[in-house]
Amino acid sequence: MKSLAELAAIKEKMQSKVVLREGSSDIRVVVGMATCGIAAGARPILNAFVEQVNKEGLSDKVMVTQTGCIGICQYEPVVEVFEAGKEKVTYVKMTEDKVKEIVEKHLKGGKVIEEYTISKV
Amino acid sequence: MKELSLNILDIAKNSVKAKATQVCVTLNETDDTFEMIISDNGCGMKQDFLKTVTDPFSTTRTTRKVGMGIPFLKLAAEQTGGSFGITSVHESESEEHGTETRAFFHKNSVDFTPLGDIISTVITLIQGSPDIRWIFRHSMPDKEVALDTDELRAVLGDDVPLDNIEVIMWIKGYLEEAYAQSE
């Protein structure tokens, strides 16, 4: 059974990192999670981003957050990527496979996957 | 919505928007019935607005003039022969403000939507609003699964937020084990 002791161990481990983390996320991934997004399948997309970012060791660099309706419901699930000094990238009609590719090529590799963005639909 | 757990996610997001600091998601399940109650201590709604919330053309959205969240849940409940109700006290009316949304379903109806991946809904809510106290309780005929984020916060202290990925994964594992027990 998962114990609270494990949680305490996570705390110990994190405390050394916390100071570093503060304000150090360079990239913000925002998933649209209003009724339109949820109905179109945004929940697994959000969770896939959280898991993939962790798996690729990007937790210190990338922050995954949720927002309401972005306003282009016909293209949901919609994900926006904000990076300081760069133009916002809007990925549309997201799937879990696209998430893996975006984490690997864009968030890790720095290369926008144009064919998944709103400008290509 | 393909799963009731998605309706729960959607409705609980209204509590987040209402600036609640505490949200209870309570699921009471018997062999034949399923009840969900989502209650919060958010800003509440004025009685005039409350009367209109089941109307799809009533919304707080700014991106468009329709809001489907509550109508979807009402339909999902009523199509099983169940019921839907919402009560609210606006912050201008009383110190004890907040909203309670309740939906009741008959599980044997062919139109009953399965609950689906409720664990994903719970972790999505905590990840999205780690500063809210989430109290989740799911009573089933043979067992109960419960989670109160205040208990986790008591262990983690103020330095480690609940949306920390390792904490989220712990919560996921904890709920998976709790659901798997005695099944």
**Nearest-CA distance A118 → chain B (Å):** 18
pLDDT at B158: 86
Chain A contact set for B166 (CB, 8 A): 10, 13-14, 54
> Rounded to an integer, what distance in angstroms lies between the CA atom of residue A105 and that of residue B164?
24
**Nearest-CA distance A27 → chain B (Å):** 16
Chain A contact set for B151 (CB, 8 A): 4
Kindly report the CATH number assigned to the domain that includes residue B157. 3.30.565
Asked if residue A2 belongs to a domain, the reply is: no
Collect contacts of B109-113 with beta carbons under 8 A, ≥24 apart: B109/B79, B109/B80, B109/B81, B109/B82, B111/B79, B111/B80, B112/B34, B112/B80, B113/B1, B113/B2, B113/B3, B113/B4, B113/B7, B113/B76
The number of folded domains in chain A is 1
B165 band by pLDDT with thresholds 50, 70 and 90: confident
Inter-chain touch B170–A6, beta carbons under 8 Å: yes
Chain A contact set for B124 (CB, 8 A): 33, 43, 46-47, 66
A113 band by pLDDT with thresholds 50, 70 and 90: very high
pLDDT of A60 strictly over 70: yes
pLDDT at A91: 97
Asked if residue A5 belongs to a domain, the reply is: no
Q: Could you say which of B159, B168, B170 has the minimum Cβ distance to residue A50?
A: B168
pLDDT of A1 strictly over 70: no
Reported as a single tens digit per residue, the pLDDT across B40-85 is: 999 999 988 888 888 877 677 665 656 789 999 999 999 999 999 9
ipTM over the 0.90 cut-off:
no
DSSP string of chain B, one letter each residue = --SHHHHHHHHHHHHHHTT-SEEEEEEEE-SSEEEEEEEE-S----HHHHTTTTSTT----SS-S---HHHHHHHHHHTTT-EEEEEEE-TTT-SS-EEEEEEEEETTSTTPPP---HHHHHHHHHHH-TTSEEEEEEE-SS-EEEEEHHHHHHHHTTTS-TTSHHHHHHHHHHHHHHHHTT-
Q: Which of B53, B73, B120, B160 to mutate to test the interface with A (most CBs of A within 10 A)?
A: B160
Amino acid of residue A98:
K
Chain A contact set for B159 (CB, 8 A): 11, 14-15, 18
Reported as a single tens digit per residue, the pLDDT across B115-145 is: 999 999 999 999 999 999 999 999 999 999 9
pLDDT of A37 strictly over 90: yes
Chain B contact set for A17 (CB, 8 A): none
| CA–CA distances in Å: residue A53 to residues A63, B4, B61, B141 | 9, 28, 30, 38
State percent of chain B over pLDDT 70.
94
Asked if residue A6 belongs to a domain, the reply is: no
Q: Which domain holds residue A72?
A: 23-120
Overall average pLDDT of the A94-116 stretch = 96
Asked if residue A51 belongs to a domain, the reply is: yes
Please choose, from the candidates A104, A33, A26, the residue with its C-alpha nearest in 3D space to the C-alpha of residue A67.
A33
Inter-chain touch B166–A10, beta carbons under 8 Å: yes
pLDDT at B56: 78
Kindly report the CATH number assigned to the domain that includes residue A65. 3.40.30.10
**Nearest-CA distance A34 → chain B (Å):** 7
Strand pairing category for A79-83 and A62-67: unpaired
What's the mean per-residue pLDDT of chain B?
Answer: 92
Asked if residue A14 belongs to a domain, the reply is: no
Q: Which of B3, B61, B121 to mutate to test the interface with A (most CBs of A within 10 A)?
A: B61
The number of folded domains in chain B is 1
**What is the arrangement of strands in the sheet containing A62-67, beginning at the earlier edge strand?**
A62-67, A27-32, A79-83, A89-91
